[in-house]
Structure 1
Amino acid sequence: MSLLPEPGPIRTLAAATLINTIGNGLWMVSSALFLTRSVGLPVGHAGLALTLVALVSLVTSTPAGYLADRLGPRGVAIGGLAALGLCEVALTGVHSMAGFLLVAAPMAVLDAAQRAARGAIIGGAVPQDRRVYTRAYLRSVTNVGITVGAAVAGIGLTVDTRTAYLSLIVADSATFLLAAAVLTRLAPVARTPRAESGPRLIALRDRPFLAFVVLDGLLATNFGLFEVALPLWIAGRTDAPRWMISVVFAVNTVTVVLLQVRAARGTDTLAGAAHASRRAGFALLTACLIFPLTAGTQHALTITLLIVAALAHVAGELWYSAGGWGISFGLAPDHAHGQYQGTYAMGHQFGQMIAPAVVTTLTLGWGTPGWLLLGAAFATVGCLVPPVVRRAVARASRRSPASEEPARV
């Protein structure tokens, strides 16, 4: 993978993404402790608050994408990031759950808007055959940014004072504002006029696309499996040392940085993207077959199996991401990339919301049978993606046969 993409919108998006995701890493690592140790919320209230904020982001994703299409995605992205930076500063004055939600709920709407706008920018400013590459490159950059942000946040967590937590919030605010400033270097992306008749949120009436979004959301639970269930499994059900949790996370992060662009090759067509989703399902099945074995092995064999399973999981994660990008761009009409990207994001957000409860119940509660059931579910969902995509293409062909490109399906 080239370290730098060609000059132009991709490089500008990469720079803004790196800056913004450093801030994301700061917040991801420190948010729970900020709410419990600085704001003073009970753990249950902190979890509920973060879940409610995620729900706000989910339900506003499609309308926010529609807004990006109508107003122009560049302006919405810049405005959303700038407003997020200003709102973030307001978190420094929060002292209750109600106060947090009063600030964080509008921030969730702004975040949904800037994320959908970024997808619309890629759809409008990047050539069709470079869109999936762009998303893949940005995901590699995202992993680098979050890793850097998480490392810096570790300093604040070690100090463990209110001043330290507030400093992390101010730093996160600065990354939003700086990312917005970088995006001003982008050329304006044409906004799309509203249709004179018919529904405005067409993505929510596109049943084949919604079916794909549901399947994609179910596959997205693989992130919860890795981030929530696996650390608990390693610590409680295997004889592996606790530092193996860090090792498997490092394997995942480094692999994504190095191989996400390569894994996305061939997914710029709908057929290639659908097949990648199917491969993702079987790779995740493989991981779910290997992980439970570690409950009955010892020492070196346990460590080896954990690494092999982590590699199978990250292969599934890479194909899942690339397939989803190719399908979400390929099925979106040219005038509605914003709302289609917003709707696509809803599936991912839904999957991450349900993942902690689902994956911990199956893997930790049911043990090996739960792992097997989860793996079979991943493989089944992956196999359902290609026929759903074919149905979506057939539906689009009936509506606008002249605009279809047979080579892409």
Structure 2
Amino acid sequence: MLTRILPPPGPARMLTVITMVMALGQGLWMAINAIYAVTVIRLTPGQLGLSVGISAALVLVSSIPLGHLADRAGPRTVQMWSFLALAPLTAALVLVDGFWSYLVVTSVQGFAYRAGNNARKAMIAANVPRENRAHVMAYIRASLNATMAIGACLSGLVLAWGAREGYQAAVLFTALCFLATGLLTLKEPPVAPVPASAGAAFAVLRDGPFLLFTALDGLLVTHALLLDLVLPLWVVHHTEAPRWMSAVVLLINTGFVVAFQTRAARGTDTPRSASWASTQGACCVAVACLVFAVSGGKGMFEACLLLVVGALLHALGEIRQAAGSWTIAFDLAPDHAQGQYQGTYKMGGDIGKMFAPALFAWLIFDNGTTGWIVLGVSYAVLGAAMPAVVARGTRSRDRAAAAAGAKGQDPAAATVG
């Protein structure tokens, strides 16, 4: 199993180990965060929702500047200080006693986490050869799922105990994981900051093809919400399957990612091949939607069988689409601006997740089977558009590099206009 989540020794392995340490605390915290806020800090559900929304909006608008910071200050420096800052910020939640203090702490947490995430992607771009980046990202994603699952299991013990001391111990354990992540970053190879003369501060905002790819991919990755948000309610209200089938679906997804993500990254080493992988993944998700649609109104055995088949198709689509997206996001970005480009890429998923819950609820719960079909067709259409969008981005990148070479500039620092 370790060979499926750990790459060979070197910078890629250290990046993966650091991710595993971070994900252990993250998996624990994600499972108890909302419960901690409501039961220990005593926020109302409305206050919790408002604070999450405000924090998410602030992180969204700061994503590009934080990515640019990683380019200019050096990604290892930004990653280290971001996670070192997350340690006391997380521990401070033990002292939080109301809405405003919770909002301030979680908002600053969001800034620090996004800065560290952007810097981590820039570290991968700097330390891993272009042709190996998708494969390394596959290892990182497999390890992320494995250790988040362990963290989620730990959260089960905390929730079973139910005592305030247990929740606070979980908070401090999460803070310790962030501290360890920051300190382990010192073991990574240093990456020199990019001088300001290498390109415009926010050149990504003038890179139309990359922005189009970001928007398209942001719509595609909303499929992750199907398992977390839509399917549990579909199982309860529209199928004869037992309630625990929604947990089985999530377990299938986690296990599939851990077991097969590295294999799914094969053959995605160029933007063209990666774009077709993304298309294949989107089509698998589309078929999964149709299978989920058919599960409604069936008997218990048939419904369970269809849900398992749909979960497997969804998991296959997820890992294939993700593998394609990594190569595209790295290769369409100029090397001198990986931080701001990866920050922009992350925004696509953030924006998609802002509107998708309400749209999915309307499609599926107001329209039933028809809604699933519309959703499946939409994913198929989005996936089919990916090769053309990526081809346009590749042509723009090549033209910018050729123009920079003609002017005697470093083609690697060329900015797409």
State the TM-score, normalized to the length of structure 1: 0.96
Task: Return the alpha-carbon distance in structure 2 between the equivalents of residues 159 and 384 of structure 1.
Answer: 49
**Residue 131 of structure 1: aligned partner:** 133
* 2:321 equivalent to 1:320: yes
Q: How does 1:233-312 map to 2 (within 5 A)?
A: 233-312=234-313
- AA aligned opposite 1:64: L
CA distance in 1, matches of 2:373, 2:94: 45
CA contact (8 A) 1:225 1:355 kept: no
**Pair 1:210 & 2:197 matched:** no
In structure 2, the residue corresponding to 1:191 is in which secondary structure? coil
- Paired with 2:59 and 2:148, the residues of 1 have a C-alpha distance of 20
Write the distance in 1 (CA, Å) between the matches of 2:221 and 2:358: 14
Q: Deviations over 1:255-298 (max 9, x none)?
A: 00011111111112000111111112211110111101111211
CA deviation profile, 1:232-273 (whole Å, cap 9, x unmatched):
111111111112112111110000001111111111200011
1:55-103 deviation per Cα after TM superposition (whole angstroms, max 9, x unaligned): 2222212111111111111111111000001111111111112111111
Residue 50 (str. 1) matches residue 52 (str. 2) = yes
SS at match of 1:130: helix
Query: Which residue matches 1:170?
Result: 172
Would you say 1:100 and 2:102 are equivalent positions?
Answer: yes
Distance 1:96 1:356 in 2: 27
Per the alignment, residue 342 of structure 1 pairs with 343
1:342-381 mapped onto 2 (5 Å cutoff): 342-381=343-382
Distance (Å, rounded) in 1 between the aligned partners of 2:33 and 2:163: 13
Q: Which runs of 4+ in 1 moved over 4 A?
A: none
Identity of counterpart residues, as a percentage? 39
| DSSP 3-state at the match of 1:220 | helix
Letter of the 2:166 counterpart: A
- Cα distance in structure 2, aligned partners of 1:316 and 1:371: 16
Maintained 8 Å contact 1:38/1:161: no
Deviations 1:34-70, CA, capped at 9 Å, x for gaps: 1111111111221221122222222212111111111
Q: TM-score, normalised by structure 2?
A: 0.94
Q: What is the match of residue 41 of structure 1?
A: 43
Distance 2:371 2:400 in 1: 43
Moved more, 162-171 or 223-232: 162-171
CA distance in 1, matches of 2:232, 2:267: 33
Alignment of 1:81-120 (within 5 A): 81-120=83-122
Higher alpha-carbon deviation: 328-337 or 344-353: 344-353
Is contact 2:239-2:300 (8 Å) kept? Answer: no
Paired residue total: 403
Deviation of 1:362 after TM superposition, in Å, equals 1.1
SS at match of 2:335: coil
Find the aligned partners of 2:40 and 2:357 in 1 and give their Cα distance: 25
> Which residue of 2 is the match for residue 407 of structure 1?
none
Q: Aligned equivalents of 2:373 and 2:197: distance in 1?
A: 48
Q: Whole-Å Cα distance in 1 between the matches of residues 25 and 53 of structure 2?
A: 20
